[in-house]
Structure 1
Amino acid sequence: MSTLVSNPRSRPHADTDPAADWGALGACVGKLRDFHSSDATAKALCAGCPVRFRCLEEALREEGTTPPGYRSDIRGGLTPSERAALSGYVRPAAPTGGRVHGDLAEAERLLLAGGLTNEDIAHTTGVGRHTVAKLRLALELPTRADLQGVTPTERLAHRTRPGQDGHVLWTGCESTVVAGRRVKGIRLAFEVGYSRLPEGSVKRTCDVHRCVAWQHLTDRPMRDALTAANPPAPAVPASVEYLYELWDANWDDGPLGNYEIRRHPITKKTNLQIRFTYLGRPSFTDRQRIEADGEIYHRRLRRLLYLAPPELPTRPEPADLQALRQAMAAAHPDRGGTDAAFMTAHAAYQQARRRAGV
């Protein structure tokens, strides 16, 4: 049975001070999130790393001939199984004596994943409990006897190193085995720090990757209590700016008209343009001109647009135009007039308006 080998860091050139050694030249420096995303991404980074072989040499020196289950992550461009084969490790044969019932491959996968007892695996896969125990020995995985006396606090201290500004950094693969169960480092640190098991997911309050300082960890009840004590402020609707238009709904009822002010929402401003919607359709105009003059004639829309709400017309109508408008109204067929009389009165009214310049 091989003893558990602890890797002080999963990638020595990424998790140490870049100024301390050759690790400053590693391709994964500053890219740990990408490195941990998948084995394919990690291998792609290692492929062009100038210190790849130095990193592999360091990994092989630290890990010796330990089985793959005690190695972690991609190092020097190789997976734990590839490094184990390169080091000369020979995987022991699985138990073959007699007839084996159940799914032996699934039992092996569950053993490597950790977190389940031999009895649980036997019940799940149908493989006999004694066969599972032999398979655990063949895979050189820790047994209950191996783990007796190792407390969560000791395991946490064994897998962490101090960081700057009070941060504590988890090293190696993201989980470990404690008392026969596989647990993530972030949950183990919460359990040790708060002396209780976490409820729900555990999240960091800091943005330091791999930090497991218990003061920086919260579970769901802690986050719920914090939200209840500090409820979010109500959302304030974003202010909307407008371009304005003076609209005459009935253009032929005199210079005072039946005016109203229409608003057209501004959607975006650039250095040269103001973009807005006109009756639901997107449009734009020259920003510099409208801000300089306060208004602009939009040729495509054939409308005069204003930067601020314009004043409604208040100029009184001349007396002669009032008389002509009254005559036009009296000649309307609805009031006893005729079509010909109304058209004649309307033409006279329009001609007078043009002469008056209104």
Structure 2
Amino acid sequence: MSIDLLQTDPSTLQKELPAFVKEVTVKPNNELTRSIYEEANQMIELLSNPQLSQFEATRQYVRLWLERAKRDVREGNRVQAESVRHGSEYYTYMDQAHHRARLRMAQQLIGSEYLHTSELSFTVVEIAAGIGKFADYTKELEKQKSKIQPQPTHLLYLPVDLDIEPLSKIDKREPKLQASAAELPFPDNSLDVVYAGELIEHLSPQLLFSFFQEAFRVLKPGGLFLLTTPNFASIPAQLEMAQGKFPRTVDERRSEEPSAWASEHITMFTGNSLSEFLQYFGFDIDTLTTNQVTLRLEKDEKGKLYPSQVVRFEAGDDVSFNEAKASADIGDSLILAAKKPAI
């Protein structure tokens, strides 16, 4: 038995959900509490209500997320988050295969813009950059550009973070900037790319709206706004929501320990809802893709579900990239490139 939570109408969901939950719940004898079950129905109704646009549904839905997230966050997680955010956990987090694939996809989209520009300068700003993972890649891009253009376009990569600690780990000779995503210190129409990887799920609606407005303001006409974020419509997320659970990220499903960062996820998106949000703020959607798709879940010896079949996409391969775009709606991460309309 299966249910498409994003396509099935609410009345059908109400009839089919109880049987589906009983079938997929890891511990069938441990029934969902009434409050969690009602909350799951409320969440599903919002996302599948044909009377609401994706934008309006998500506006209402983030209120539910915020309340649920507050209840799910353990106090110990907050302490852990402060202690490991810029320590060894950050490095192992970025070294995991699905995050490397996500980063490569984002790099490919930025690289394509840079290699095809005829301008003499090209500025890439990474928001919530941490230790600046894009630095080495941008240097490699300049080398590639020098082979195809006599006077190569100068590429400026500028990592921006509200927290000065990770920025201090970047080479002192490299430019960096401490600033908030809600108040970007750049002139209007001045940047070629604004990139934010795994940031927007941590922002409250108010901060999120401010960030999107600021990104639109500072980008040049035709400039690229590139975002990556966990996909609320991934196959594992749909399954967990059907059980009345707060959907977890790939990192949480891989770990026995609660994720400090994931506990701060308060705003989640599907491909459609994120696209509509960006269009609301004036952007044109250019590309929606993903890093991988979890196709099959199985139970381990403890009865815990884990991904047993994953298709991971490789950047740089046109066939793989096209398959990734075709699978974006159910992929584990959303990688969305939007553009500010050209004049």
Please state which band the TM-score falls in when normalised by the shorter chain.
Answer: under 0.3
User: Between Structure 1 and Structure 2, which shows a larger proportion of helix residues?
Assistant: 2
Tell me: higher relative CO, structure 1 or 2? Use CA pairs within 8 A at least 6 residues apart.
2
